[in-house]
Structure 1
Amino acid sequence: MQNYLLPLETGKVYHIYNRGINGSNIFFEERNYGYFLEKYAQYVGDWVDTFAYCLLKNHFHLLIRVKDLPDTDQESTHLKGLHSSNNFLSKHFSDLFNAYTKAINKARQRTGGLFETPFKRILVKDEAYFSRLIGYIHHNPQKHGFVNDYRDYTHSSYHSHLSLRNTKLSRDEVLGWFGNRAAYADFHDSLYNEQGLSDLIIELD
């Protein structure tokens, strides 16, 4: 049985995911997706290497590696009590969710929480699982019926890895695991049949 609340440790790779309370929506209009990524970059991006993401109406997936903690003054009030990577990064994710929820509540004249707590995570232990997990994350919109073809979905990192444009993703490392862009695309095509991803389906879905 998966331990979905395991600690976030420096240097390790995790599949992070969460959804709206009781499966309700967390993204309501197009601009919400970009705003979430902006807040992610602001609160979390400096402390992780981001390999892949997918944002759907009622949940999201991230594939990250935890970076080393910054050098800190033990007397710093901002970081006091947050010197473990788990506490430090968990607080930054909490800040992300709170900032995004505050903006959504203001825009939609609502109150209360938006995300289920705590957010879940799975430790990624081997490279073969890593590669297939990237495919799983990018195929998620097709799996849930948002598009007929995962390549048509605009709120995932699939096309960012194929692009030559600047990105905050750890694109070179991802492509290095697959070999090149063509191999990356071919691998995703080979997983087009959901049977190739059945062992990766998680309870969130």
Structure 2
Amino acid sequence: MKYQDPFEPETFYHIFNHAVGSENLFRTDDNYQYFLKKYAEYTESVWETYAYCLMPNHFHFLIKVKPIHLLQQLPKFSGSTHKFVMQKLSNFLNAYAKACSIKYQRKGALFLDYTRRVAVKEDSYFTTLVNYIHQNPVHHGFCKSLDEWKYSSYQAHTSEKATKLQREYVLNWFGGKAGFERFHKENLAALQDDLEFLS
């Protein structure tokens, strides 16, 4: 699978990255919260978020780049959607890595050299990807049920609390909240065979 699809307007992407070596990206609850705060600060102007999962040493997001006419209204838009979105992504990860380096007195890169990105152009891939992203903590043995993991969008999708996620779109995709929950429960077993290579 191609991992470096260029960012284009109004296109869905699976984006994911991993810590360098055996290091963790997140050590405490505060780390997770700070990461999501910076994520919103740097990226919500250029894309919408549909699903995510933060694991101790890696992360996954399902996003959709905003329409070109909205991007063109943003400061410093260069005319290239890909370069502009990549700069926002880079700034976000650099800001988080710098904060970790200061807090933990560490040196060197925190993330792998590039954040992998795959355009989501098939309905079946979107469906499988939402499930895959949410199943990560169960798949890796951090919890036994999806609603136990605080650092994914699963709880936000099944909650009534306000969220910046595109919750209505995702729930409607699965035929409503009940369909969303049922699909996740029924498709855990197929996860390893379907998307082992994305772990």
Q: TM-score range by the shorter chain?
A: over 0.9
The separation in 2 between residues aligned to 1:12 and 1:149, in whole angstroms, is 31
Aligned-residue offset at 1:106: 0.9
1:199 matched residue in structure 2? 194
Contact 1:17 1:119 in 2 (8 A): yes
C-alpha displacement at 1:196, in angstroms? Answer: 4.4
Check the 8 A contact 1:142/1:149 in 2, yes or no: yes
Unaligned runs of 5+ in 2: none
Give the total of aligned pairs. 197
Query: How has the CA–CA distance of structure 1 residues 71 and 123 changed in structure 2, closer, same or farther, with 3 Å as cutoff?
Result: closer
1:39 corresponds in structure 2 to: 38
C-alpha displacement of 1:148: 2.0
Distance 1:163 1:24 in 2: 32
Say whether the 8 Å CA contact 1:44–1:92 is kept in structure 2. yes
SS in 1 for 2:33: helix
1:111 aligns with 2:98: no
Runs (4+) off by over 6 Å: none
| 1:100 alignment counterpart | 96
SS of equivalent to 1:22: coil
Residues 46-70 of structure 1 deviation map (CA, whole Å, 9 limit, x = unaligned): 2111000000000000000111242
Deviation at 1:165, TM superposition (A): 1.0
Correspondence 1:18 to 2:17: yes
Provide the residue aligned with 2:144 in structure 1.
Answer: 148
Structure-1 residue corresponding to 2:157: 161
Q: 1:104 to 1:123 in 2, by over 3 A?
A: same
1:201 alignment partner AA: E
Matching residue's letter, 2:63: I
Query: 2 CA distance for matches of 1:18 and 1:41?
Result: 17
- Amino acid in structure 1 at the alignment position of 2:123: E
- The answer to whether the Cα contact below 8 Å between 1:136 and 1:197 also exists between their aligned partners in 2 is no
Rounded to whole Å, the distance in 2 between the matches of 1:189 and 1:11 is 30
Is the CA contact (8 Å cut-off) linking 1:19 and 1:115 kept in structure 2? yes
Which residue identity does 2:8 align to in structure 1?
E
Give the CA deviation at 1:23: 4.5
Unaligned runs of 5+ in 1: none
Cross-structure match for 2:67: 68
Matched, 1:52 2:51: yes
Distance in 1, Cα, partners of 2:172 & 2:164: 16
How large is the RMSD of aligned CA atoms in angstroms? Answer: 1.5
1:44 & 1:85 partners in 2: Cα distance?
13
1:20 positional shift: 0.5
Query: Matched residues in 2 for 1:168 and 1:181: separation?
Result: 17
* One-letter amino acid of the structure 2 residue matched with residue 14 of structure 1: Y
Q: What is the rounded CA distance, in whole Å, between the counterparts of 2:11 and 2:100 in structure 1?
A: 32
Decide whether the 8 Å contact of 2:132 with 2:191 is kept in 1: no
TM-score by length of 1: 0.91
C-alpha distance in structure 1 between counterparts of 2:84 and 2:197, whole Å: 26
| Partner SS state of residue 21, structure 1 | coil
Deviation sequence 1:120-172 (CA, Å, 0-9, x none): 01111122221121011000001111112222111000010111111010011
Counterpart residue identity of residue 25, structure 1: N
